[in-house]
Structure 1
Amino acid sequence: MSRANAGTKGVPRADRELQIVRAACEVFGTVGFAKASVAGIAADAGISKPLVYQYFGSKEGLFSACLTHGAELLASDMERVAADDSVGLERGLRTLDGIFRILEPQPWLWRLFFDRTAPESGDVAAARAFYTDRITRLAMEGVGELMALVGDDDPLDVSAMTAVWMNVVDTLVTWWLDHPEVTPSQMTERCYRLIVALSGAEPPAQIVADPAAR
């Protein structure tokens, strides 16, 4: 993970910060906040430990930056899917496909959101709450569209199904992370089969067959 030219003079601050965050995401997402070492992260990024503190202030500040980095990637892609013409099960499948593709080169990002050793107050808690709310609202919107398609607009039904959907997503992603031999395309196809088996409804097959739709 070390980069020979990292931390040298002339590197724009934004580039250097992103370099540190990417290195830290892998460490935090692999060993957890409690076991992660700022010195080790600095070494992986090829920069000095004081520079990490100069940019992020603390280990907690660095973790907050990592959480924001990962959550922004995922939330932005979910918003991209929400802005297209897909609804219901098709939107859900496209959302899952986007998650798998983002996580393929950086699977440790997912575990940042569920790190029980991370701080439960301060900037970390604020970042987690912000993105949890943003992603939950997107999920509720998508579930609401799905429920409307079957004539159910009961707010509590939508709320309950949103909770179910978010747990399903976490379960599917966690299963996939435990099976690294499965490609994103294969996982999307598996989700398609599971959705058909459970619901009896078939989203457009092009979601899993057409690379342009991914």
Structure 2
Amino acid sequence: MARPNAGTKGVPRLDRETQILSIASEQFGTYGFAGTSVGTVADIAGISKPLIYNYFGSKEGLYEACLARGGALLGDEIERIARGESVGLERGMETLAAMFTLLQPQRHLWRLFFDSTAPTDGPIADSIARYTDRIGALAQEGVTELMALAGNDDELDVSAMTSVWLGMVDSLMNWWVEHPEETADDMMQRCVRLLDALLGAGGR
């Protein structure tokens, strides 16, 4: 008897790969590299494990493909804002809004790049570093603009503020993952309130 979730033949390879990567990204982003099995991804997709190995070679190859897909989506969106007209705090808020909108239906993608169970050396580690370095470089560019507007070009201050910004974004994304009822618009309104509270408190 055929499995109830058995896949159908004749699905174009590109469509099948997209389906596999969507499922695998959610599994890796939710349960981590160590907690995800190829068998589980195959069962959810309604296909066989050998098909996944045929497409991606290994569990590591599947994870790398998920990183490439997610990294391109995130990096391209952040860079789109960076190449726009906004500078300083406005650019930062537009970047957050774009990320929330992009990640709303797939917020697990963020955790692919900050998975403590992922390999710390080899191709996966290199891929993670490549995409996080791209995000970090764009963040530093934006922070440099912000600090320049405040008349501060101290390199260590820029470095420290970049770390603060990246840490804040990571904390917000992780909080959002743990609160699935919050929409992208909810998060932006919350960020505005938090920023207003922070600046207001600093002004008293």
Corresponding residue of 1:161: 161
**Offset, 1:94:** 0.9
Structure 2 distance, partners of 1:34, 1:8, is 31
**Offset, 1:6:** 4.9
Q: TM-score, normalised by structure 1?
A: 0.86
**Offset, 1:17:** 1.4
Gaps of 5+ in 1: 201-214
**Offset, 1:18:** 1.5
Gaps of 5+ in 2: none
Corresponding residue of 2:55: 55
Deviates more, 1:109-118 or 1:164-173: 109-118
Structure 1 distance, partners of 2:130, 2:14, is 23
The structure 1 segments of at least 4 consecutive aligned residues displaced by more than 4 Å after TM superposition are: 3-7
Q: What one-letter code is carried by the residue in structure 2 that aligns with 1:135? A: I
Corresponding residue of 1:65: 65
Corresponding residue of 2:25: 25
Q: What one-letter code is carried by the residue in structure 1 that aligns with 2:172? A: L
- Is contact 1:7–1:16 with CA below 8 Å preserved after alignment? no
Corresponding residue of 2:198: 198
Corresponding residue of 2:40: 40
**Offset, 1:7:** 5.8
Identity of matched residues, %: 58
Deviates more, 1:96-105 or 1:146-155: 96-105
Q: 1:123 to 1:7 in 2, by over 3 A?
A: farther
RMSD, aligned CA: 1.8
Structure 2 distance, partners of 1:32, 1:7, is 29
Counterpart of 1:104 in 2: which secondary structure? helix
**Offset, 1:198:** 2.0
Corresponding residue of 1:8: 9
Q: TM-score, normalised by structure 2?
A: 0.90
Q: What one-letter code is carried by the residue in structure 1 that aligns with 2:26? A: E
- Is contact 1:7–1:48 with CA below 8 Å preserved after alignment? no
Deviation sequence 1:83-126 (CA, Å, 0-9, x none) = 11111111111111111112211121122122111111222111
Deviation sequence 1:1-41 (CA, Å, 0-9, x none) = xx9795622x3322221111111011111222112111110
Counterpart of 2:152 in 1: which secondary structure? coil
